[in-house]
Structure 1
Amino acid sequence: MGCVVLGTLPALAQAQAEGRPGLVAQTTISGPDTAWMLTATALVLLMTLPGVALFYSGMVRRKNVLNTMATVMAVAALVSVLWFALGYSLAFAPGSQLVGGTSRFWFAGLSYLKDAGLVAVNHVAPNVPESVYAMFQLTFAIITPALVVGAFVERMRFSAMLCFVALWSLVVYAPVAHWVWEPGGWLSQLGALDFAGGTVVHINAGMAGLVCAAMVGPRRGYGKEPFEPYNLGFTMVGAALLWVGWFGFNAGSAVAADGRAGLALAVTHIAASAGVLGWMLAEWMLRGRATLLGMCSGAVAGLVAITPASGFVGPGAALLIGAVAGLACYWGATGLKRLLRADDSLDVFGVHGVGGLVGCVMTGWLADPAISGVKASLSAQVLGAVGVLVYSGLATALLLWLVDRTLGLRVDPKTEQTGLDLAVHRERLGT
């Protein structure tokens, strides 16, 4: 795995002979760093289960609430198994500039040899057990397609969704993660900065969501009848869980319990708060009122935009990034959405795509070398964003076409009218 391997010579020889590279002496593992990464992993999983599930289900119509929750739950389980089998290796094992190798298929080599005092580590995170790092990265792999779900809720076949997410996680997410976060990836070598997933997660998910919305087609009655959210209380609780979980998302990406992680946590909270205020300002100026849904959306906008910058900027820059994101994502969910004419049901592109683009570009402008020791390149940031937009868009379209040709993407009109809760799952909300 490209790291220094320590331990007794017999144990080392045996480990290498059994194909377990990347073993280090247990004494080189940092206890505080490992404890923090275990905590961060739980926080990021909390963002999806139940964060995204509640956030999204509160915004759909009553007849599709359980289907939305079931979809998020199924995505989490499916991606977890695929990450264990193939995804982690394709993303984080050394390979080419485009995709990782096969050395970690089925988590091969993620060893802990108590008697020999050895434990596997990834060359990207040499101070924590590789099992912890692999699970931390799994939570990112889970939430990214879970975010895409918001673009096609209430109308995609459950079986088609499962097939699409399985293909997308391996063909789109894993390679993009490799490009940006594995040192051998082409965007990493270009110098593109993405501390915690502005490009890998949010631009990627936003573009995929836009393509899904366009290819699946609008919900029946879209633009002609009101689509009342079931329970904005659910949405607020989901947004709050996302906000808290985002501390693990961003501060955990330091892969250490250190000063950089602490600063990442601080700028994350500042940007989220500025995002709320930015969205509120836009609503007040254009509609004469502030809404709870707007505040929740503004918080997510600020969180999305600070994600690529969180390990590279200070508090003042975070305030600016969050405020700009709140304003920009309000436009993304209103004016831009009308221009694009796609029924992106829960504004995945308007919030995650636009917010990710804002954060990616502003990272190139505001990153402070004194914080990270690296100098940002605005051209590299733009090239990285455009590269991911193009690849995600084209690959998503191809995968959706394949699924449509084999299974069919969309439920029939009667199922859509009845609601997916009852028609697909034979379940309904209680009174």
Structure 2
Amino acid sequence: MSRPAVQKALGAVAALVFAAGCSSGGDAGPRGTSAPPGSPPPASTGSPTGSAASSPAGPAGEGRVTVAGTLTEGLRSPWGLAALPGGDLLVSSRDERTVTRVDGRSGAKTSLGEVPGVVPAGEGGLMGLAVRDGWVYAYLTAASDNRIVRMRYGGAAGDRLGTPEPVLTGIPKGTIHNGGRIAFGPDGMLYAGTGETGETGLAQDEESLAGKILRMTPEGKPAPGNPAADSVVYSYGHRNVQGIAWDAQGRLWAAEFGQNTWDELNLVEPGKNYGWPEAEGRAGEARFTDPVAQWPTSEASPSGIAFARGAVWMAGLRGERLWRVPLSGAERSGEPEAFLAGEHGRLRTVLADGAGRLWLVTSETDGRGTPGSGDDRILRLDVR
């Protein structure tokens, strides 16, 4: 997720200064004060960047976001979010290596313990989570690699996570660009977004698991229908994939960090090449698949995405806003709209609740934000 991109303007010429904050860093702008857990704050609706501003109600055909309240707060370096049957949530701490259960109604937190074998450093640690058939799956950085493990979890009061079992090992690790998002698709297969670890050539190396979207069985084997029958690689040419979600027609979408110019939202198809490092944003070349939408890096640094109400919703870290990308068929049906700009700081993860609403996780305590009282938190969002 790291991109060195602190911009310094000199007349009409911009020079890029490489800094430790990189793309997903940057100073957090002014933020509104969130209400305490259980208390809905005033509704807030942002204005789209690069298109006409919307009124609070929003013109016909545009989206709307209302922050309905804060579910919980006081989270440290939250990263992955997954829903349990019944509506409670699991959230991972990237740096503290823990998984916490959050009551979906009251916001009460219960620690499920530390996940052994996690070695946090830079952008690595305990990242994406997924839940299926009594297992909690986790994408994590270990001593030698990034890997996916699974742990038994009964889900009853007092239950703890079981011993991690390897699902897929050998994903290259780095100080930066570790990817980390995992999710089960509508086909029952497990998908993972990986980064190229800062070694750009790995994205085009089809033998490497870095800079890819991976597709596997729940046990970590190559899934039937993959481009190569003996490989978990599903698509390649990615810089750092940190958001994956499916639309109502079962198509896979992925958010990707660019370097200095364009962040991307891609419609992902098996075997396609998404261009990095030879292309950033739309290249218009037949050998690469162009993104459906792209943003200046200062406005996005996209992390988690979710599909709800006919649109992809994308959390922005450096951009500190929630993007809505309306869809129609396989195409974008309107201009992306931005909401909550600068109100809650860096936004890490967004998860649909299945009823057309969203959970949104902030990311001010990851070492690149400016944490305030109560950070980090999970917000309830009503969207339409």
Report the TM-score, using the length of structure 2 for normalisation.
Answer: 0.30
Higher helix share: 1
Q: Which has the higher contact order (CA 8 A, sep 6+)?
A: 1
Kindly name which structure, 1 or 2, has the bigger radius of gyration based on alpha carbons: 1
Compute the TM-score of the two structures, normalised by the length of structure 1.
0.27
Name the one with the larger strand percent. Answer: 2
